Structure 1
Amino acid sequence: MIIVTGATGLLGRQIVERLLTLVPADRIGVSVRDPRKAQARTFAEQGVRVRQGSFTDAASLAHAFEGATQVLIVSVDKMGDEAVRQHRAAIDGAVAAGARRILYTSHMGADASSRFQPCRDHAATEEALRGCGIPFTSLRNGFHASSALQFLGDGLRTGEVALPADGPVSWTAHADLADAAAAVLADEGRFDGPTPPLTAGQALTFDDIARIAADVTGRSFTRSTATDDTFRQQLIGHGVPAGAADQLLGVFTAARAGEFAAVGPTLAKLLGREPIALSTALKELWLNSVS
């Protein structure tokens, strides 16, 4: 049985949806913190095994992972020691359940020396996977395109955005990464260890995104550069905790260092088509905003 964790989250949910088109429902199980959520109930109605599992509760993971052949660990929305601790607990749970392979949603920029904390967390988790004693696949996902849209904020409406100096980032759609993860799960052993970068076809700066936004909206769009400190203070002024503001700033410092600039063909090969371009996501966002 293939077990997917975090199956009511944005990425995990889409992975299960794609997986249902590739393997029978009775070969899929999900581990969720709250089985009462609507999406969990929908999966159960389709024949997916739904069990409660928490990375902070080993007993619950033993139940949720029972009978697993593969376990896909969808990375948590924590950072630092807490994230790595929870990932290690999930790895231990998968090993104890007798899984023959663990898969993990990592990041193309995973590196112990990264300027972006989550990438350091991914690197530490991959190190735990190397020592777990069973085969693993680390899905080196491109940076989520949804993050670029969040950084734009209401910029599409106002025609301007002020962000720190950045560098090229291979912004990649959740939908494509979900399709790729499902394909790898359905073809067990296709990759051993970290995959090549699973990225969209272009790496874009926010200057590039500004030009795309102008094309999409048919209006002028200005991208100005805010100092790192100004950006950080603006985040804090909007209620973002100081620690979280520092981590968000890390996206830009890491991008300036070229940590997210890699572009590779592996995702397109897995999909059998070109990945979704950021311009498509921007166009959808714009159309939704004016409808």
Structure 2
Amino acid sequence: MTESIGVTGATGVVGAETARLLVKAGHSARLIVRDPSRAPELPGTEVAVAEGYSDVKGTEEALSGLHTVFLVSGRESADRVSEHRAAVDAAVAAGVRHIVYLSFLSAAKSATFTFARDHWATEEYVKASGLDFTFLRPSLYQDVLPHLVQDGVIRGPAGQGRCSWVARTDVAAVAAAILPHPDLHRGRRYDVTGPQSLTMAQTAGMMGVEYVDETVEEAYASRARYGAPDWEVAGWVTSYEAIATGEMDIVSPTVQRATGYPATSLQQFLKSLG
């Protein structure tokens, strides 16, 4: 069995599936979690607890002795970049050598999607840390699509833009293929997408619902009823705007190349939901 690979966010879908696939392939993993009672029970794993990325000391202890760590991006928040920076600082202090960071497709300083800007800022911090790195940049998840349906329709300012929706299980499979061989992927950035790029109207049609194309102003107004903080609403709206601008219209062969099987299509994903 190889030396242990650190997997943060191991109670989430991507983290847990990555750990499962690592163990299935004969690797050992250390699961870094907030709540040990929710950690997946997998042979060949150990569990370490840290109270979130802002808990620098706890995260440093949880990562101590690891060479390679899968840094799953933290849940969306107003201070997400600060939390990511704290996690990177903890990794450096713990002696970690290589971080595989779960970023986002088209992450850039000037990205339309506000959360993509957060991912770019995190990538820049990782690069400046002196750590070896690999960045995985997945598209928007297929798994979120059912949650976009409100009152029987999907609404947003996506226009005629396209998105290459990706399955979270495919993202985990790519991570599990890369983590045991960090030297082969040092300094690389991989877009991780589904096999096709679809408009929101096509996407909604496959789901059996209607797509209503909103203006940006209408999108903010229709979401005001939820009472969410401004940063969260901006994230919701700009995710559609990023589709409209073409920033999500990227189809990459990464899943096929890393795993040997084709990326999950939206049709396949929807069929799996029953």
* Cα shift at 1:178: 0.5
2:165 to 144, 156, 171: 171
CA 1:243–1:135 in 2, change beyond 3 Å: closer, same or farther?
A: closer
Match of 2:260 in 1: 272
- In 1: Cα distance, 2:211 partner to 2:113 partner: 23
Q: Which amino acid aligns with 1:66?
A: S
Write the mapping of 1:203-214 to structure 2, written as runs, cut at 5 A. 203-214=197-208
The CA deviation at 1:153 is 4.2
CA offsets 1:127-152 (integer angstroms, 9 cap, x no match): 01111112111111222112233213
Counterparts of 1:124-135 in structure 2 under 5 Å?
A: 124-135=121-132
Matched, 1:261 2:263: no
Give the superposition deviation at 1:211: 3.4
1:194 is displaced (CA, Å) by 4.0
> 1:40-189 alignment to 2 at 5 Å?
40=40, 42-43=41-42, 46-53=43-50, 54-80=52-78, 82-153=79-150, 155=152, 160-166=153-159, 167-189=161-183
The 8 Å contact of residues 142 and 266 in structure 2, kept in 1 or not, is answered as: yes
Equivalent-residue separation in structure 1 for 2:22 and 2:170 (angstroms): 13
Q: Could you tell me the percent identity over the aligned residues?
A: 32
The alignment of Structure 1 onto Structure 2 pairs a total of residues equal to 269
Rounded to whole Å, the distance in 2 between the matches of 1:143 and 1:282 is: 15
Quote the Cα distance in structure 2 between the aligned partners of 1:164 and 1:64.
Answer: 42
- Do the aligned partners of residues 149 and 194 (structure 1) sit closer, same or farther apart at CA in structure 2, a change above 3 Å counting? farther
User: What RMSD over aligned residues (CA atoms) do the two structures have, in Å?
Assistant: 1.8
Q: 1:29 is aligned with what amino acid?
A: R
Whole-angstrom distance in 1 between the partners of 2:158 and 2:133: 36
Select the structure of larger CA radius of gyration: 1
Per the TM alignment, residue 233 of structure 1 is displaced from its structure 2 partner at its CA by: 2.3
Displacement after TM superposition at 1:228 (Å): 2.5
Q: C-alpha distance in 2, partners of 1:85/1:200? A: 30
Q: Give 1:218's aligned residue.
A: none
Residue 3 (structure 1) aligns with: 6
State the distance in 1 between where 2:180 and 2:150 align.
Answer: 37
- Assess, with a 3 A threshold, how the Cα gap between structure 1 residues 253 and 63 changes in structure 2: closer, same or farther: same
Deviation at 1:165, TM superposition (A): 3.2
**Counterpart of 2:218?**
230
